[in-house]
Amino acid sequence: MSVIECQGLTKAYGGVKALNNFSCNIEENKITGLIGRNGAGKTTLLKIIAGFMKETSGDLKVFSESPFNNLTVSANVVFIHDQMDLPTALNLKELLEVAASFYQNWDRELANRLFDYFSLSPLQHYEGLSKGMKSTFNMILGLAARVPLTLFDEPTSGMDAAVRQDFYRALLKDYLAHPRTIIISSHHLNEIEDLLEDILLMKDGKELLHMPIADLKEWAIGLQGKTAIVDEWTQNKELIFTKNIGPDQSYVVVRNNFSETEWQSARIAGIDLTPVSSSDLCVYLTSKTKGGIDDVFNKG
What residue ranges bind other proteins (CB under 8 A)?
Answer: 30-31, 168-169, 172-173, 176, 190, 194-197, 212-214, 217-218, 264, 267-268, 270, 274-275, 277
Question: According to the 3-state scheme, what is the secondary structure of 137-184?
Answer: HHHHHHHHHCCCEEEEECCCCCCCHHHHHHHHHHHHHHHHHCCCEEEE
Q: How far is the CB of 148 from other proteins (least distance, A)?
A: 18
Q: How far is the CB of 172 from other proteins (least distance, A)?
A: 6
Long-range contacts from 100-104, C-beta under 8 angstroms, 24+ separation:
102/75, 103/75, 103/78, 103/144, 103/145, 103/146, 103/147, 104/75
Largest Cα–Cα distance of the chain, in whole Å?
Answer: 70
**Smaller CB distance to other proteins: residue 25 or 190?**
190
**Smaller CB distance to other proteins: residue 54 or 267?**
267
**Smaller CB distance to other proteins: residue 173 or 255?**
173
Q: How far is the CB of 258 from other proteins (least distance, A)?
A: 15
Q: Residue 188: which residues within 8 A CB-CB, separation 6 or more?
A: 156, 164, 279
Q: How far is the CB of 195 from other proteins (least distance, A)?
A: 6
Sign of the C-alpha dihedral, residues 116, 118, 124, 126? Answer: negative
**Smaller CB distance to other proteins: residue 64 or 190?**
190
Q: How far is the CB of 214 from other proteins (least distance, A)?
A: 6
**Smaller CB distance to other proteins: residue 87 or 212?**
212
**Smaller CB distance to other proteins: residue 7 or 274?**
274
Distances (CA, A) of 143 to 72, 99, 111: 19, 12, 8
Q: How far is the CB of 239 from other proteins (least distance, A)?
A: 21
Angle between helices 131-145 and 161-177 (to 10 degrees): 0
Q: How far is the CB of 292 from other proteins (least distance, A)?
A: 21
**Smaller CB distance to other proteins: residue 218 or 295?**
218
DSSP string covering 199-226: EEEEETTEEEEEEEHHHHHTTEEEEEEE
DSSP string covering 252-287: EEEE----HHHHHHHHHTT-EEEE--HHHHHHHHH-
